[in-house]
Amino acid sequence: MTNENYKVLGLEETCSDEELEAKYRELKAVYSEGRFQEGEAGNEAAKKLTELETAYAEILSERRERSFSTGASDGYYGAIEECIKKGDLAGAQQKLDEFNERNAEWHYLQSVVFYKKKWSNESKKQLEIAMQMDPGNEKYKNSYDKLVAQINSNQEKNFSTYSSGDGNGAPIPPEDRQMGGSGCLDFCCQMALCNMLLNCCCNCR
Q: Within its chain, how far is the Cα of 168 from the centroid?
A: 28
Helix (H, G, I), strand (E, B) or coil at 171: strand
At residue 20, the pLDDT reads 93
* 130/138 Cα distance (integer angstroms): 11
Q: Where are the domains of the chain?
A: 2-69, 74-164
Partner residues linked to 165 by β-bridges: 171
Domain 2-69 identical in fold to domain 74-164: no
Q: What one-character-per-residue DSSP string does 18-51 give?
A: HHHHHHHHHHHHHHHHHTTSSTHHHHHHHHHHHH
DSSP secondary structure letter of residue 165: B
pLDDT tens, residue order, the chain (205 aa): 568 999 999 999 999 888 999 999 999 999 999 999 989 999 999 999 999 999 999 998 887 776 655 444 566 788 888 999 999 999 999 888 887 778 888 999 999 999 999 999 999 999 999 999 998 899 999 999 999 999 998 887 776 655 555 444 444 444 444 344 445 555 555 565 556 655 555 554 4
pTM over 0.85: no
- How many helices (H) and strands (E) the chain has is answered by 9, 0
Amino acid (one-letter) located at 195: N
At residue 1, the pLDDT reads 55
Name the helix (H) or strand (E) containing 137: none
* 156/133 Cα distance (integer angstroms): 31
Please give the class, per CATH, of domain 2-69: mainly alpha
At residue 72, the pLDDT reads 47
Partner residues linked to 171 by β-bridges: 165
CB burial string 12-36: b at 16+ within 10 A, e below: eeebeeeebeebbeebeeebeebbe
Amino acid (one-letter) located at 147: L
* 123/144 Cα distance (integer angstroms): 9
State the CATH architecture for 74-164. Alpha Horseshoe (1.25)
